[in-house]
Structure 1
Amino acid sequence: MSKYSGQLHRLFLKHFGTEPVMFRSPGRVNLIGEHTDYNQGFVLPAAIDKATYIAIAPRMDDQVNIVSADLEQQYHFSLQDVGKSGLHWPDYIIGVVQQLLALGSPIHGFDIAFGGNVPIGAGMSSSAALECATAFALNRIFDCGLSSLEMVKAAQRAENQFVGVNCGIMDQFASMFGKDGHVIRLDCRSLDYTYIPFRMEGYRVALLDTGIRHNLSDTEYNTRRMQCESGVALIQMRYPEVQSLRDVTMQMLNDCIRPGNEIIYKRCKYVVEENIRLMQACSDLEENDIRSFGERMYSTHEGLAKLYEVSCPELDILVEETRLLDYVPGSRMMGGGFGGCTINLVREDHVDELVKTVGERYKKQTGKNMSAHIVTIGNGTSAVNNPFSD
C-alpha cells in the first residue's frame, strides 16, 4: 500500500504544493452471481488487495483540479459548470461531485490526484473503486455526514446517470463494504447483506487476464439489462406480483416466454438459474466444500457464454483449459463480459504452474499474451494511515 500512496503523495506535492489527505478504495471480485445485481437478485462479491488511491486537499474557491497519475493527464473544471469532460476518465470523479452537490453536500473546490493498481477493463471494477474513493474522500474532508450506504448509492448514480453505464449496485457496495477474509452475500433489492467467511485454506484466487479491454458503455451491457426488463414485462402480464427476475421461477418463465422470444427467454433463464446457484454456493462455502463451489463456477460460465452471451472466445479458452487441471476446482469469466479476466480457484502450491500452463496454451491458440493477477480478499474503502513511510 505504501508504494502507491507514497508515490501519489509526492506527485500531489509536485503539482499542488500542499499537504494532501490520503484514501484508498479497492477493486472487487465476484465469486458467483454475475449480471444478477441489476435484476434485483443476489451477488457474492469481495473487496481485494488491489486499490485506487487518492490524494486530496480542499481549496477555498470553486475550482477542481484533477491529476491522473497512471495516465499522466490533467483536467480542470469549476463547480459552477459541472459537465462531462469529453475525455471519459475524469467523468467518474465529476459524476460523484455532481451527485454530492445534488444531495446538498457542502463541498467546494479541491485538488485531487489518483492512481493505483486495479487493472482497467479487467472486470475488477476500477471505475467503482475510483467513484467510492472520491465519495469517501469528499465526505471526509468536507464533513458531508453521509453514511457508507449513501456514498455507495451516490457512486452508483454517478455511473448510471453521468457516465452512462446502467450498472447495478454490487461493484460500489463491495468496494465500500469489503471485509478481510469474507465475501458479501448481498441482496440487491433490499441491500441486506451477510458476511460469509471465505475459508479456502490451501487455495488462492487467480485472475487470468485475456488482455482484451472493454468499455461497458460501448458493449451490449445496457442491451442485456433491457432484455431482462422486457422479460419481466412479459411475465407480469400473467404474474403481476413479479417485480424483477428475482421473483421469477423456471415454471413462470416457461409459462410466459417462448416460443418466439428465444433471446429474451435465454437471458432470463440464465438469471433465474444464477440466483439459485448463488444460494447453493453459499451453502458450499459454509460447508467448506470447494469442489461443489467450483463446479457451480463452471456452470455459471456455461450460462454466461451460451444463454447470456457475454463471453468471448478468449475467455472461453481460459476457462476450458482449466478443466484439464485437477488443481483448479472452479473457473469462470468475471465482470461485464466481452473481455477482461476469468476468476479461478487454484491450489496455492500450483499457482505458478497454472499461470505458465494456461498462458502457454492461450498464446498458442490466440496469439495473445495472458497476464495473471493473484489477489487476496481485503477490506473496503478507508483512509490511508502513514502513507509516506517509503
Structure 2
Amino acid sequence: MQKEQLIAKFQELYGEGGEIRTYFAPGRVNLIGEHTDYNGGHVFPCALTMGTWAVVRNRADRKLGFYSLNFEKLGIIETSLDELVPNKDAGWTNYPKGVMWAFEKRGYELTHGMDILIYGNIPNGSGLSSSASLEVLTGLMLKDTFGFEDISMIDLALIGQYSENNFNGCNCGIMDQFASAMGKKDHAIFLDTNTLKYEYAPVVLENAKIVIINSKVKHSLVDSAYNDRRNECETALKELQKVTDIKTLGDLTEDGFEQYKDAIKDPVRQKRAKHAVYENQRTIRAVEALRNNDVKLFGQLMNASHESLRHDYEVSCEEIDILVDLAQAMPGVIGSRITGGGFGGCTVSIVEDATVDRFIEEIGKTYKEKVGHEAEFYVVEIGDGAKIV
C-alpha cells in the first residue's frame, strides 16, 4: 500500500479535511540472541522494511476511532481516552490503547482524541514483532501529535515494553520495541539489554541474503510458556546468587556457569539457565565474527543457537525443526535458526545468492509434504527504525 492509498482510505472512512499525518514503524528479525533480553544478556536484531503504518487526524473531543485494514470486518472500533483499560473484546486495539495508558501513567496528558487508520504488512503471529511495531508506532504518533519533545526514541521503546508488560500482560523484554524504534538501514543493533548500551554493526553479506520462513503455525503455548521460561530463569538466578555475585544470568561466562551450575537444584531450570548464559556468549562472538567478515562462523553460531533453543530452552516445535533441519542440510545455507518467542512463527537463514531460488522451492515443497500446509518465504532487507512518513 502506498501512502496516497492509505490517506484515500482514511478519508473514505473518516471524512476529509483537517491535518492528516502518516507514520511507520518496522517489524524486526533477531539474527541471534534469543530469550537473552530478559536475562540481562545481549541481542542482535535488525529492523525490517516491512512494518506497520498509521494515518492519524486529531479530534476535538476525547473519542478514539481505530480502523485496521488487516481486520476490515471489524469496521471502525470506537472508544475514548476515558476507557483506557485492557479488554478482551477490544482485540488488537489493546496495543495502541496500552501505549496511551502508559503515556498517561508517565504524566503525559493526552488532551484530545484522534481517528486512526492502521495497516501492517508483517504477517500476524509470525514472530516478527507486529505488536512491538504497533506499540512504537503509537508512541511516535503521540510524541509528534502532542509535541512531547522530551521523549526520545529509546523512551518510546521502553514505554512500548512497559505497556505490553503491564497492560497486555505479556512479560516481554526490551528487544522488539528497541529494534523497531532504533533500527538503522543495513545494520543490526548489538544491544546489551541490561544497560541499554548499544552499537550498530554493519551487516555486510556479500553474495548472500537473509531469508525468513514463516511456518504459518502459532501454538497457543506461546504466552504462557514465555512467562514460564522467564520464571524458571529468575528462580535459577536466585539460586546462583547464593554462590556467586551476579546481577543477571548475562553476567556469567560459560566457564562460570559450569563452575556454579549445581547451585540450581532443578535439572529443567539448569537447562534454561544454561541456554541464557551460552546464548549470550554466542551472540557476543557472532557480532565479532561479522566484524571480521567471518560469515561462516556467524552461520555456525546461528545453528548452535537453534540447537540450544530446541533442547535446552525447549521453545521450538516440530514444524520449525523441520524447516531448520531442511535448511541446515542444504549446501549454500550459511546458518539457520528459529527466531522470536517460539512455538511456531519464523526461522531466519543466511543463504548464498545462488541458492536462494532452490532454497525456497525445495524447502517449500518438502515442508508442505510433511506438514500439510504451505510456508511463506520473505527475502528481506534491513531498514530504518520508526519515522514520520
TM-score normalised to structure 1 length: 0.94
Q: Is contact 1:235-1:252 (8 Å) kept? A: no
Q: Which amino acid is the alignment partner of residue 79 of structure 2?
A: F
| Aligned counterpart, 2:86 | 84
2:249 corresponds to which of 245, 249, 253? 245
Q: What SS does structure 2 have at the residue aligned with 1:378? A: coil
Are the structure 2 counterparts of residues 141 and 185 from structure 1 closer, same or farther at C-alpha, using a change threshold of 3 Å? same
CA deviation profile, 1:85-108 (whole Å, cap 9, x unmatched): 323311100000001111222322
Are the structure 2 counterparts of residues 358 and 217 from structure 1 closer, same or farther at C-alpha, using a change threshold of 3 Å? closer
CA distance in 2, matches of 1:250, 1:274: 10
| Aligned counterpart, 2:299 | 294
Q: Is residue 119 of structure 2 the alignment partner of residue 121 of structure 1?
A: no
CA distance in 2, matches of 1:340, 1:196: 26
Q: What SS does structure 1 have at the residue aligned with 2:56? A: strand
Are the structure 2 counterparts of residues 281 and 371 from structure 1 closer, same or farther at C-alpha, using a change threshold of 3 Å? same
| Aligned counterpart, 1:71 | 71
Q: Is contact 1:164-1:217 (8 Å) kept? A: no
CA distance in 2, matches of 1:60, 1:166: 35
| Aligned counterpart, 1:362 | 367
Are the structure 2 counterparts of residues 252 and 279 from structure 1 closer, same or farther at C-alpha, using a change threshold of 3 Å? closer
Q: Which amino acid is the alignment partner of residue 51 of structure 2?
A: A
1:147 corresponds to which of 149, 152, 157? 152
Q: Which amino acid is the alignment partner of residue 9 of structure 1?
A: I
| Aligned counterpart, 2:113 | 109
Q: What SS does structure 1 have at the residue aligned with 2:38? A: helix
Are the structure 2 counterparts of residues 285 and 250 from structure 1 closer, same or farther at C-alpha, using a change threshold of 3 Å? closer
The offset of 1:148, in angstroms, is: 1.0
The offset of 1:215, in angstroms, is: 5.8
**Size of the alignment, in residue pairs?**
381
| Aligned counterpart, 2:376 | 371
Unaligned runs of 5+ in 2: none
Identity %: 38
TM-score normalised to structure 2 length: 0.95
CA deviation profile, 1:238-257 (whole Å, cap 9, x unmatched): 12x31111112344434243
Are the structure 2 counterparts of residues 163 and 149 from structure 1 closer, same or farther at C-alpha, using a change threshold of 3 Å? same
Are the structure 2 counterparts of residues 45 and 369 from structure 1 closer, same or farther at C-alpha, using a change threshold of 3 Å? same
Q: Which amino acid is the alignment partner of residue 106 of structure 2?
A: L
Q: Is residue 168 of structure 2 the alignment partner of residue 163 of structure 1?
A: yes
CA distance in 1, matches of 2:6, 2:77: 17
CA deviation profile, 1:269-321 (whole Å, cap 9, x unmatched): 01100111011101110111111100100000000000000000111010111
Q: Is residue 16 of structure 2 the alignment partner of residue 14 of structure 1?
A: no
| Aligned counterpart, 2:46 | 46
Q: Is contact 2:236-2:264 (8 Å) kept? A: no
Q: What SS does structure 1 have at the residue aligned with 2:373? A: coil
What's the RMSD between the two structures over aligned residues? 1.5
Are the structure 2 counterparts of residues 24 and 216 from structure 1 closer, same or farther at C-alpha, using a change threshold of 3 Å? farther
The offset of 1:116, in angstroms, is: 1.7
